[in-house]
Amino acid sequence: MNLTLKVWRQKDKDSKGRIETYVVSDIPEEASFLEMLDIVNNQLIESGREPITFDHDCREGICGACSLTINGIPHGKGSGITTCQLHMRKFSDGETIYIEPFRAKPFPILKDLMVDRSSFDRVIESGGYVSIRTGSAVDANSMPIEKEDADTAFDAATCIGCGACVASCKNASAMLFVSAKVKHLNSLPQGAPEKTKRVLNMVNKMDEEGFGNCTNQFECEAVCPKSIKSEFISDLNRQYGTALVKEALK
């Protein structure tokens, strides 16, 4: 395949970025998008030029590190996949592809296509804990959990924190991410003691980090590689409202 790549290049977070053009050839259709970038980088290195910086780790759709916006879509064309699972056969020979980092104020660009998503870590840290004793393993059946609750928790836990929901939202809202984490932890009996405090802490931390408000346009659900449902956002709003009332009555 022959392709024209329009790639965002930025030396560091304080530098002004720009789009650079790379004309590449002989890209295998079976290559993944990240493998294509590997090929391009090898060519750049061989010619004595600076390779393109991009984030990646597992390359199996698990870690969420491959946060690229491809032709204006976080993780590119396709449904329920991360960038590393996108293959070049999805593109046409001779196509022009725009490759940019995730665009959101809480995700500052570190270099080229790599962004700092540690704001997500801080949101999780603010509410991701339980007060039950964890010093020894317990029997798996010692705390029976309704199947519906377990299934809901598992569905929410599939969120990999990639940030595509934020990058797709015009307000850079993190509501889908936060609602998935809250739903995961609050659906299980182990998370019940901190339920109220957790909701308040995580929502307040989300606002503190500079994420915007949700306006219910659901771009987040459309681009989520793990198909997290926007109905979790409605549940988060209900839990947050209840938590505010409980705190006011103390």
Q: What is the CATH number of domain 117-248?
A: 1.10.1060.10
pTM: 0.91
For domain 3-111, give the CATH superfamily: Beta-grasp domain (3.10.20.30)
Query: On the CB side of 129, how many CA atoms lie within 13 Å of its CA?
Result: 11
- pLDDT for 111 equals 97
- pLDDT for 218 equals 94
- pLDDT for 115 equals 97
The type of residue at 128 is: G
- pLDDT for 223 equals 97
237: left (phi over 0), alpha (psi -120 to 50) or beta: alpha
Express each pLDDT in 164-212 by its tens digit: 999 999 999 999 999 999 999 999 888 888 999 999 999 999 999 999 9
Given a cut of 70, the residues of the chain with pLDDT beneath it are 132-141
- pLDDT for 82 equals 97
The type of residue at 201 is: N
Express each pLDDT in 215-228 by its tens digit: 999 999 999 999 99
Residues of the chain with CATH 1.10.1060.10: 117-248
- pLDDT for 140 equals 59
**In 3D, which of 235, 172, 229 has the Cα closest to residue 206?**
172
Residues of the chain with CATH 3.10.20.30: 3-111
